[in-house]
Chains A and B, each alone.
Chain A
Amino acid sequence: MNDNQLRKELKVTAIENGTVIDHIPSKSVFRVIKILGLDNIDNQILFGTHLDSKKYGDKGLIKVSNKYFKSEEINKIALAAPSATLIVIKNYKVIEKRQVEIPDTITGIVKCFNPKCITNNQNVTTRFKVIDKEDIKLHCHYCEKITKKENIQFI
């Protein structure tokens, strides 16, 4: 890590061990916290919004101490923060960096676009198959209708 990068990391304070989720769109930081359930855990969490980013101009960032995420767990945030990078830190050192990936199925994060769907009428958790990862098309397991990218609403 060069000095420049290091300074950027330090802006919200470095962590000894844990995970940094970088390159989150600023407006999605609270959404990501909610999707990952970070509002309900005891770990130390630091986050920032509207930080400078070379790549995107503006970004959000979350640091969670002493916590590591499984791929299927972290991929849940892909719809809210498709550009997010996961950085695994041990002993102040970057051990691993990886991009989040849109998962094959999505459970309970977004609403079905169809007002006549059972998930919008009774207490039923939404379930989708991602039939197009580029263009984001979600096929509802229940009503079998497709929710497109522009119609995605988070729960």
Chain B
Amino acid sequence: MKNKSLISINDYSKEEYLKILDIAEEFEKQPTQNILNDYVIASLFFEPSTRTRLSFESAVNRLGGHIVGFTDASSSSVKKGESLKDTIKTVSNYSDLIVMRHPVEGSARFASEVASVPVINAGDGANQHPTQCLLDLYSIRKTQGTLDNLNVAFVGDLKYGRTVHSLVIALSDCNCTFHLVSPVELKLPSSVKRFIKDKNLKYYQYTDINEVIPKVDILYMTRIQRERFADPLEYERVKNSYVLKNDMLENSKDNLKILHPLPRVNEISEDVDTNPKAYYFQQALNGVYVREALIASILGLK
């Protein structure tokens, strides 16, 4: 994967992303390694995203690398009207790898075309967030021992949730069965279902979360946002029907793990946090190992 930008999870084959997960396992055993001493990583956050930025910066720091960049566009030349192209070309001169977050969809793909160094997309608007997908895959494989033949439930906003889209697409290469739980307004788009159908895999759609809990190995929860609803009353009606509470997990499988891309609002009640099936905080930590693996791999160090 040397010098290969990661813009969309589809850029990497299954074999390639499995390789990243293998390297991430090594970093989990030994997270601090001085291999980036001679490298400068640009961290360009055109919009703030503290969680993602800290995870990347933690990964770079644990590997002994150096970071240049900005944490939101207001403190950069972008504010003065510099084009994305000019910013990226300039920063390419100062760094060996660019990590970027930008509110405009497709910005990361464009940046990777004008940059002379590889680019990692840390989120381009509602489009892609491939490192989130990698850490989700890592978390699933780690807790289930495999990515193949699993029963995976996605709950909440399946229409706009980009992490759901990427993960469904990636797991379509793994012979999984999909259980899709959402309000009717927020069903998984047909453009994503196409990937499941293309592989002749099964998916089932539900509006009641209780129906899927006993069946699945992974319960992937997401946030339902008020602004997604044209009718505010509709939001009020559905918002509490997609909340996971500890007593709902009674008949779940022993190997079930609950994932969530975080931050959560109220869709997982706090009484779930101490249940050993709750995995979302560990999931976030896995993000550091996966990002270490990705950076090391792109720079040709692993």
User: A and B bound?
Assistant: yes
Whether A122 lies near B85 (C-beta < 8 A) is yes
B93 beta carbon closer than 8 Å to chain A: no
Report the Cα distance A104→B104, complex, angstroms. Answer: 26
Q: Which residues of B contact A123 (CB under 8 A)?
A: 83, 85
Q: Does B105 contact A (CB under 8 A)?
A: yes
Q: Is the Cβ of A142 less than 8 Å from the Cβ of B106?
A: yes
Given contacts A116-B126, A122-B83, are A145 and B110 in contact (CB under 8 A)?
Answer: no
Q: Is B107 an interface residue (CB 8 A)?
A: yes
CB pair B125–A142 under 8 Å, yes or no, is no
B128 contacts partner chain A, Cβ-Cβ < 8 Å: yes
Question: How many chain A residues touch B (Cβ–Cβ < 8 Å)?
Answer: 16
Asked if A90 lies at the interface with its beta carbon under 8 angstroms from chain B, I say: no
Check B128–A144 contact: CB distance below 8 A: yes
Q: A143 on the interface (CB 8 Å rule)? A: yes
Asked whether, in the complex, the Cβ of B110 is within 8 Å of the Cβ of A142, the reply is yes
Q: Are B109's CB and A142's CB within 8 A?
A: yes
User: Bound complex: CA of A140 vs CA of B109, how far in Å?
Assistant: 11
Tell me which residues across on chain A come within 8 A of B23, comparing CB atoms.
none
A-B contacts, 21 of them at CB < 8 A, read A116-B104, A117-B104, A118-B84, A118-B104, A118-B105, A118-B107, A122-B85, A122-B104, A122-B107, A122-B110, A123-B83, A123-B85, A124-B110, A141-B109, A142-B106, A142-B107, A142-B110, A143-B106, A143-B124, A144-B106, A145-B105
Which residues on A are within 8 Å of B, measured CB to CB?
A: 114, 116-119, 121-124, 140-146
